Amino acid sequence: QVQLVESGGGLVQPGGSLRLSCAASGFTLDYYAIGWFRQAPGKEREGISCISSHDGSTYYADSVKGRFTISRDNAKNTVYLQMNSLKPEDTAVYYCALGVGYYTGTYLPEASIFDYWGQGTQVTVSS
């Protein structure tokens, strides 16, 4: 059974940094993608980044490009989201998700493409 567990959320001041982790378990796949999404109160879920399992290709939403970095450690089956220069508008629940299949890294897949989701971790950016 595929399981995704996010961690690393918390309260941070504007301009600060956090690193989220997404630990994946319960599967053996050659090709898959891990995406990060977020959802703020009263807003729709937003895709922010994605990484492929086989070659590490990445894609970022414009809202986080240059501030967030997604990376992976395949040996640990863990994907990270390093978030720098955080803004109050980054406040949201952050989710990671796994989508089975070959991902090219040339676009940001919609949430409906992903097969498995974590429970989410709260990120609050406030002074």
Q: With a cut of 90, say whether residue 2 has pLDDT above it.
A: yes
Q: What is the per-residue pLDDT for 84?
A: 98
Terminal CA-to-CA distance of the chain, rounded, Å?
A: 40
Going by the DSSP 8-state scheme, the letter that residue 30 receives in this structure is S
pLDDT at 80: 98
8 Å CB contact between 20 and 112: no
- Name the residue among 52, 3, 59 with its Cα closest to residue 27: 3
Res 35 pLDDT > 90: yes
pLDDT digits (tens, 9 = 90+) for 50-102: 999 989 999 999 999 999 999 999 889 999 999 999 999 999 999 999 999 88
